[in-house]
Amino acid sequence: MCDCCNDEVRVRFAPSPTGRLHLGGARTAIFNWAFARSMGGKFILRIEDTDPTRSTDENREVILRALKWMGLDYDEGPDVGGEYGPYLQTQRTDTYQEALQELIDKGAVYPCFCTKETLDAKRAAAEAEGRAYEGYDRTCRDLDPAEAKARMEAGEPFVWRLKVPLDHGPIAFDDAVYGHTEFPAEVMDDMIVVRSDGSPTYNFAVVCDDTNMKITHVIRGDDHLSNTPRQILIYEALERPIPTFAHLSMILGPDGKKLSKRHGATSVEEYRDRGYLPDAFNNYLALLGWSLDGETTIIPRDVLCSKFSLDHITKKDAVFDEAKLDWMNGMYIRSMDPATWVDACRPYLVEAGANEADINANHGYYEKMYALVGERLTHLTEVSEKLAYLFWGPEVKLDEKSVTKVLKKEGCRADEVLPAVRDILADESIPWETAALEAEVEKLVEKLDLKKKFVFQPIRVAVCGNMVSPPLFESIELLSRADVLARIETTIAEVF
């Protein structure tokens, strides 16, 4: 358990709005969200927008949209409020000033007047002499208080540095993933906590925010592991409870290198736009560094929320394999009910030729389309291509390769098959439903003394446009009799 006095588990996801939400950040958000839900705690969204050159309102909205699409509902955040707001760092400057004043009153910080040029010169001198630069040498640490005050009042620029105790032993903590971890205090220089312009440094702002928001567990990428001892020093100086830390391993590409754009899509919205389901996406990312039992791969959202635990996170770097994500997405699509599938596919159905009003008015009709392609989809985006033929009306868009291989193939007798099929389908005494239509057409196989494929394939091309399409008679049932007959007649006229 954490060292915090608060009994309620409180975790936070704190992205910087400097770009899109990438896979690493998305996984961190999932782990925080799932842990909070499994512990009956709170999941907080905090936006660390203190970089004035890169943090934008637009980027913040991108992050909010991505989290909303993933279904990671947060209990407190910039757009939902909460007891410990505001949830934008740029709106929390008063809290940083209060914490700084507390450190000043305790004598835990001191003003430093060393300029950047001075520090750069010392670094260069060390390198020239073949010495390792050991960081800030505490030049201003023991300045006479009166001198320091006079220089501040005179307007000389300065920063505030943390006065790291010289007798501090190893900075130790028990990481929930890496176990007992120690850093030697003697390698820690007196870090800057507040810059000369009055803005807080990253480590100082994070500690202030996590303290004031009563964060009990800090779950984040292991690229922050080196920040942890510095932050612990600040917690100690402020005499605040130290949360439990859990650092997550890196996500690598299949080539074993850090995941990047060269491996394909990297942002959440790219995966959304490529037709992935949020539950499949979350499920897959959750398995990058965590497992339920070492075997189970399909983990529904409610199971993830109830069974997630920090002790099942591994230290081993995770490998992102898009082929596995594709497989999982297909599994989730196949488990959907038709009504949910229609709603998820709306933009792709519209792209195929449907319109929103008709989908709303005839939802049941569109639900029948799920049976045509549900078992065959890897991405929802495939719907627009696979089902476009259902929206052609009386027209047919013939694939030339299919025409050549099926309709014009020597000996296939498609010129006999299609007129005969047209006559059967024109008979209104035959119910316009899959089983009845298929049974009547199958009689042609024996009547014309042809193999079944030489009867069915020409129909498929004439009605659906090519020789590879969803189930034939199930498709015909979803089309009107008039449109099917018109397509067959057009094909006969154009091909023979």
Supply the residues annotated as catalytic.
Answer: 261
Can you tell me whether residue 318 is helix, strand or coil? strand
Phi, psi of 220 (to 5 degrees): -155, 175
ω before 86 within 30° of 0 (cis)? yes
Radius of gyration of the chain (CA): 32
Beta pairing, strands 217-221 & 244-248? parallel
Q: Which two tokens stand for residue 103?
A: 């450190």
Residue recorded with tokens 């990253």: 202
Other residues' Cβ atoms within 10 Å of the Cβ of residue 250: 17
Question: CB of 38 within 8 A of CB of 11?
Answer: no
Torsion of CA 257, 258, 262, 265, to 10 degrees: 130
CA–CA gap between residue 243 and residue 234 (Å, rounded): 12
Can you tell me whether residue 172 is helix, strand or coil? strand
Q: Is the dihedral of CA 55, 161, 122, 134 positive or negative?
A: negative
Which residues are 405's β-sheet partners? none
Contacts of 489 (CB under 8 A, 6+ apart): 422
Residue recorded with tokens 């199930």: 474
Which residues are 13's β-sheet partners? 45
Q: How many residues does the chain have?
A: 496
CA–CA gap between residue 401 and residue 403 (Å, rounded): 5
Question: CB of 182 within 8 A of CB of 172?
Answer: yes
Phi, psi of 160 (to 5 degrees): -105, 125
Q: Which two tokens stand for residue 31?
A: 């782990």
Q: Which two tokens stand for residue 405?
A: 């291989």
DSSP conformation letters of 458-471: HHHHHHHSSSS-S-
